[in-house]
Amino acid sequence: MASATTAEGEAYAFILSQIRRGQYRPGDRLRAEVIASELDMSRMPVREAFRRLAAEELLTIRPNRGVTVAVLDRDDLDEIFEMRSVLEGLAVRLAAPHVDDAAARQLTRLLADMEQAVSGRDCEQWLRMHRDFHHGLCSLSQRPRLVHAIHNLHTALEPYLRLWFLNTGEPIEAREEHEAIINAAATGDPGQAERVMKQHVATTAPDLAPYLNMGRDGNVPQKTK
């Protein structure tokens, strides 16, 4: 039998994956007994995973009222993008000295994969490539805590990126901006890389704003405190 720590980690990874894949959407209520049954474990590690995800602001726990997937409002959205702008700007500035030819080629391949996903209207592929691009670039900063913080911010936004894609048929496109980030970093201009990344992140928030109020069935999910 798996230890409690291992079971909690399994439950955490499962719930996080379901959020990222859009199976659990903003406003959805989660039941520990149902998830525990799916994972063939007791409810305790699932509840511990709930608390961990709530600390990361991906779930909302209301005493005696249950657990729901967090719902963002416009203030939340603006704050997340402000944080992303600063943190990813810092990450790419620190990453720039490590963006050699091989890293630049890999990042460029990810951009090509993103475009292929757009052509094929493949939402999940595009989300993966978008996540891999930002994670891969920021990881070159060699600052794991910084990368983890950025990762959590991306996860909070993915349900809304998915809604954007599914309701428009194409994702937010920024090939030129992404290429400019790579080029600035690869040519040894960390300040320019930081500026381009911050601008790229900051201009995305207004595109996602219309989808904050759209739930699984097109209705408005309720934000809870």
C-alpha to C-alpha distance for 117 and 113, rounded to whole angstroms = 6
Residue 87 confidence (pLDDT): 97
DSSP annotation of 96 reads G
Q: What is the pLDDT of residue 147?
A: 96
Task: Indicate the DSSP class of residue 218.
Answer: S
DSSP state of 221: P
Topology of domain 4-69, CATH: Arc Repressor Mutant, subunit A (1.10.10)
CA–CA distance, 110 with 85 (Å, rounded to integer)? 21
Rounded CA separation 189/183 (Å): 9
Return the residue matching tokens 């490590």.
98
Checking if the pLDDT of 220 tops 60, the result is no
Nearest-angstrom CA–CA distance, 186 and 84: 21
Q: Residue 41, Cβ neighbours under 10 Å: how many?
A: 20
Give the pLDDT confidence of 36-79 residue by residue, as tens digits.
999 999 999 999 999 999 998 899 999 878 999 998 889 999 99
Predicted pLDDT at 33? 95
CA 180 vs. chain centroid, Å, equals: 22
pLDDT digits (tens, 9 = 90+) for 16-42: 989 888 889 888 999 999 999 999 999
Q: Which residues does 109 contact at the CB level (< 8 Å), separation at least 6?
A: none
Q: What is the CATH number of domain 74-211?
A: 1.20.120.530
**Are 137 and 107 spatial neighbours (Cβ–Cβ below 8 Å)?**
yes
Taking a C-beta distance cutoff of 8 angstroms, is the pair 214, 76 a contact? no
**pLDDT single digits (tens) 168-184:** 755 566 678 889 999 99
- pLDDT the model gives residue 170: 58
Task: Please give the mean pLDDT across all residues of the chain.
Answer: 87
190-197 average pLDDT score: 93
**So what's the pLDDT on residue 204?**
82
Q: What predicted TM-score, i.e. pTM, was given to this entire model?
A: 0.80
Taking only the tens place, the pLDDT of each residue in 141-162 is: 999 999 999 998 998 888 888 8
Please state the rounded mean pLDDT for residues 108-128: 88
Q: What does the pLDDT read at residue 218?
A: 44
Quick one: pLDDT at residue 107? Answer: 95
User: Is the CA virtual torsion 55, 58, 62, 64 positive or negative?
Assistant: negative
- Per-domain boundaries in the chain: 4-69, 74-211
3 confidence band (pLDDT: 50, 70, 90): very low
How would you classify the pairing of strands 29-30 and 66-69?
antiparallel
As a whole number of angstroms, the distance between CA 101 and CA 104 comes to: 5
Percent of the chain with pLDDT over 90: 55
More confident residue, 10 or 205: 10
Sign of CA dihedral 128, 130, 131, 135: positive
